[in-house]
Structure 1
Amino acid sequence: MSKVIALANQKGGVGKTTTTVNLGIGLANQGKKVLLVDADAQGNLTDSLGFHEPDNLPVTLATLLTKVMTEERYEAEEGILHQEEGVDLMPGNIELSAIEVSLVNTMSREMVLRSYINTVKQKFDYVLIDCMPSLGMMTINALAAADSVIIPVQAHYLPAKGMTQLMQTITRVRRQINPKLKVDGILLTMLDNRTTFAKDISFILRRDYGDKLCVFQTEIPLSIRAAETSAEGKSIYAHDPHGIAAKAYQAFTKEVLDIGQKQRQRHEADLGR
């Protein structure tokens, strides 16, 4: 049973793409088949996985979404790239900006990405969607396609405060489009443990959201090594395997696997009734 997870936050610079890369490769290191989907027109996920000129790729997510919208046939593996650390990638680039405009006039416009994901997800244990830093039509499509959401939040006051808008969007998508959508949890990123301020933000998040949502036990520390991985086109495991960020992402990956295992067990129990 495949699980589709959207990594979403309308605030940029919260470590969303870095988390997508390191969670995806962390899951692959645990023997899972993983597809990463770059649903951001900036192509940062594609770039971070070593494909440094996403705008020159012949087939990207925009290509496939256009085919879905025009009801043109395509092969399930079309355009998927294999990255050397064991994950597959559906790349994204600037053409997604035009797709977002086109979606406005498309029938069942919220379901276009879901239609694509449904044709490929059977081959994978996990599909991770790296969303745009906005609450536009592509992000709505990602939430409509997903089984669950992970929300990376930087340990600063304003990014944490801005989560209210994202939670309202998730609630609206759940009510109107995708009733099965769950929030797996909030992941605190770029945490500078040397400062009282960062610890205060961690406390506030757990106090304000902990009774309604899971806040992951793992907190991703502020790390120059993690920031360097994008330019290297590698995960933190390849770039700095013994560092604090690699250990944190390993622990986070285990939490995500545990959630997936519990959800699978519940699903099997429901089927057995």
Structure 2
Amino acid sequence: MRVWAVANQKGGVGKTTTSIALAGLLAEAGKRVVVVDLDPHGSMTSYFGYDPDALEHSVYDLFLHQGQVPQGLAAQLLLPTSHPNIALLPATTALATLERQAPGQSGLGLVIARSLAQLWQDYDYAIIDSPPILGVLMVNALAASQQLIIPVQTEHLALKGLERMVHTLRMINRSRQQELPFCIVPTLFDRRTQASMSTLRVLRDVYPDTLWQGFVPVDTRLRDASRAGQTPSQFDEKSRGVIAYRALLKHVLTRQLAPQAV
């Protein structure tokens, strides 16, 4: 299994869309994919038609055992999605209470890594949709992943979130045995606006070695796919957004991302 985390310390940059778009493309290539919703808002869970406020069980259950994960629990929590090759580990709003519980428990930072280890033989890829806040959930996502994808909205305020994310990655790398490779992905790009154009230039100047040179454009078909509860490529495989994500997936799969100094 290959484990990718999608994270940024700013909301609204396209993390959930990126996670599901990549999962959908992998699934259509015949890969078995598990998507993990670690955001207490449950955007990924809602995307696939489940109510994060109403689910009785979720990824939250994995954190209730003093940092250990009972054998078989991760598989019991999986839910089906619109694609037969994609399974969901859903979120509930109870995840928001973990930060208050974390000081009293040890080993919480490796819960997701231990959970995915139980699914290792059953899936080819795991894609983790992370919350936009540095805490036990993001630490879990980064600790479990082999590669990090950082979507960045092409507008000036998003650059600050990227700076915070790179700083967080620097801290996480100190505790890992090897540095976590990452790829910065410009999203919500609108070439008609000066903000998008200038932000893309800044990204290319400041992060030349870790930036994907393409971009994901603003595309209403991505929003329509979300409303339909389908992956973007299921909904409209020829949309501009899907074409961009297909190019991104090819980049991630074919380029052996070496660890970068941050």
> What is the TM-score normalised by the length of structure 2?
0.91
Aligned-partner residue type, residue 142 of structure 1: A
Specify whether residues 189 and 71 from structure 1 end up closer, same or farther in structure 2 by C-alpha distance, changes over 3 A only: closer
What secondary structure, in the 3-state scheme, does the structure 1 residue paired with 2:215 have?
strand
How many Å apart are 1:191 and its aligned residue? Answer: 0.1
1:10–1:135: 8 Å Cα contact kept in structure 2? yes
Whole-angstrom CA distance in 2 between matches of 1:161 and 1:58: 37
Corresponding residue for 1:127? Answer: 126
What secondary structure, in the 3-state scheme, does the structure 1 residue paired with 2:172 have?
helix
Aligned-partner residue type, residue 224 of structure 1: T
Corresponding residue for 2:235? Answer: 239
Of the candidates 249, 253, 256, which is equivalent to residue 252 of structure 2?
A: 256
Query: Does residue 228 of the first structure (1) align with residue 224 of the second (2)?
Result: yes
Corresponding residue for 2:211? Answer: 215
How many Å apart are 1:72 and its aligned residue? Answer: 4.4
What secondary structure, in the 3-state scheme, does the structure 2 residue paired with 1:41 have?
coil
The number of residues matched between the two structures is 257
How many Å apart are 1:75 and its aligned residue? Answer: 3.8
Corresponding residue for 1:156? Answer: 155
Whole-angstrom CA distance in 2 between matches of 1:28 and 1:135: 30
What secondary structure, in the 3-state scheme, does the structure 1 residue paired with 2:213 have?
strand
> Can you give the 5+ residue segments of structure 2 that lack an aligned partner in the other structure?
none
Quote the sequence identity (%): 32
Of the candidates 204, 210, 225, which is equivalent to residue 206 of structure 1?
A: 204
Whole-angstrom CA distance in 1 between matches of 2:233 and 2:174: 39
Whole-angstrom CA distance in 2 between matches of 1:224 and 1:71: 40
- Deviation string 1:215-270 (CA, Å, 9 cap, x unpaired) is 113310011221232222112122222221121111112222213xx47xx9xxxx
- Deviation string 1:55-107 (CA, Å, 9 cap, x unpaired) is 22232100122146366454441111121322111001101112232222211
1:146–1:181: 8 Å Cα contact kept in structure 2? no
Aligned-partner residue type, residue 37 of structure 1: V
1:148–1:181: 8 Å Cα contact kept in structure 2? no
Specify whether residues 70 and 124 from structure 1 end up closer, same or farther in structure 2 by C-alpha distance, changes over 3 A only: closer
Whole-angstrom CA distance in 1 between matches of 2:75 and 2:211: 35
What secondary structure, in the 3-state scheme, does the structure 2 residue paired with 1:50 have?
coil
1:50–1:234: 8 Å Cα contact kept in structure 2? no
More helix by share: 1
Specify whether residues 77 and 156 from structure 1 end up closer, same or farther in structure 2 by C-alpha distance, changes over 3 A only: same
How many Å apart are 1:12 and its aligned residue? Answer: 0.3
Corresponding residue for 1:141? Answer: 140
Whole-angstrom CA distance in 2 between matches of 1:196 and 1:140: 35
Corresponding residue for 2:27? Answer: 28
Whole-angstrom CA distance in 2 between matches of 1:157 and 1:67: 42
Whole-angstrom CA distance in 2 between matches of 1:103 and 1:113: 14
Specify whether residues 209 and 219 from structure 1 end up closer, same or farther in structure 2 by C-alpha distance, changes over 3 A only: same
How many Å apart are 1:139 and its aligned residue? Answer: 0.5
1:6–1:150: 8 Å Cα contact kept in structure 2? yes
Whole-angstrom CA distance in 1 between matches of 2:59 and 2:75: 12
- Deviation string 1:99-147 (CA, Å, 9 cap, x unpaired) is 2322222112322222222222332221111000111221011111111
Whole-angstrom CA distance in 2 between matches of 1:159 and 1:146: 23
Whole-angstrom CA distance in 2 between matches of 1:45 and 1:145: 19
